[in-house]
Structure 1
Amino acid sequence: MEQLSEEEVKLYFYENRLKTFEGWPFDEDCTCTPENMAKAGFIHTPSENSPDIAMCFFCLKELEGWEPEDDPLKEHKSHSPSCQFIALKKTVEELTVEEFFKLQKERHKLMMNKSCNEAINKFEEAAKMRRGDIIKTAMGEE
């Protein structure tokens, strides 16, 4: 069995998720503070156009367009009701090794599904463009 890297494990811990919220546009007077976001399993994954993108480190659900009154836990549960991380009844520190590995196995499945879906979408886009090129060539257009 392959060893777990520190990178794979560190986001299970609140403090490490919280560190990702540097530059988060919402603070003290909001419900979606960095602390609440991290408690709900989110990490901050901003882009140039969207400074408020947050993704669950576990189920990989990305959410943006946050409003100050949005409750991160409620939003997470409504957009990703099957996320096993937010369904935990224990803290990560209280998990047995067996429970942790079971969770990690589910996380790997989600990561692989996301990766495969992205590859399929890229392939389908390339195929669509190639098909268009072939049709143009066949019709004598250039």
Structure 2
Amino acid sequence: MEQMTEEHIKMYFYENRLKTFVGWPFEEGCACTPENMARAGFIHTPTDSCPDVAQCCFCYKELEGWQPEDDPAEEHRAHAQHCAFVSLGKAAEELSVSFSSCRKRDTRF
């Protein structure tokens, strides 16, 4: 199994993913803005010949050929149904952990 680097783990956070979208060709008035791309789990990984490559930092799926009306979350779901990030079905900032059920279970021992 591939070892996670600190840089890779940093990309789990929306703010860090958003910072990668320098030079992203789609801004205001588009569905695939940097904010929406980062919210959908993508980081910007441009090449000289392809300035709109984005990669999911969870499943590593790369997508290119974006159109202004493309919804990043829908595109991610359509092309990577088994991605753990897509499977969550909610934004990272909406995730929570319930410790009360853990406490109840632990007190039984």
Distance 1:74 1:89, change over 3 A: closer
TM-score, normalisation: structure 1: 0.61
1:68 aligns with 2:68: yes
Sequence identity of aligned pairs in percent?
Answer: 62
SS at match of 1:17: helix
1:80 Cα deviation from its structure 2 partner:
0.3
* Structure label with greater radius of gyration: 1
Q: Where in structure 1 are there 5+ consecutive unaligned residues?
A: 97-142
Aligned partners of 1:34, 1:5: CA distance in 2, in Å? 24
Aligned to 2:104: none
1:86 Cα deviation from its structure 2 partner:
1.8
Aligned partners of 2:62, 2:7: CA distance in 1, in Å? 19
Aligned to 2:28: 28
Query: Deviations 1:51-97 (Å, cap 9, x if unpaired)?
Result: 0000001100000000000000000000000001122256366358x
1:8 Cα deviation from its structure 2 partner:
3.0
1:6 Cα deviation from its structure 2 partner:
2.7
**How many residues align structurally?**
94
Aligned partners of 1:85, 1:95: CA distance in 2, in Å? 16
Aligned to 1:94: 96
SS at match of 1:81: coil
- Within-5 A mapping of 1:99-110: none
Aligned partners of 1:72, 1:89: CA distance in 2, in Å? 13
Aligned to 2:49: 49
Query: Deviations 1:19-43 (Å, cap 9, x if unpaired)?
Result: 0000000001100000000000000
CA contact (8 A) 2:24 2:34 kept: yes
CA contact (8 A) 2:8 2:57 kept: no
TM-score, normalisation: structure 2: 0.78
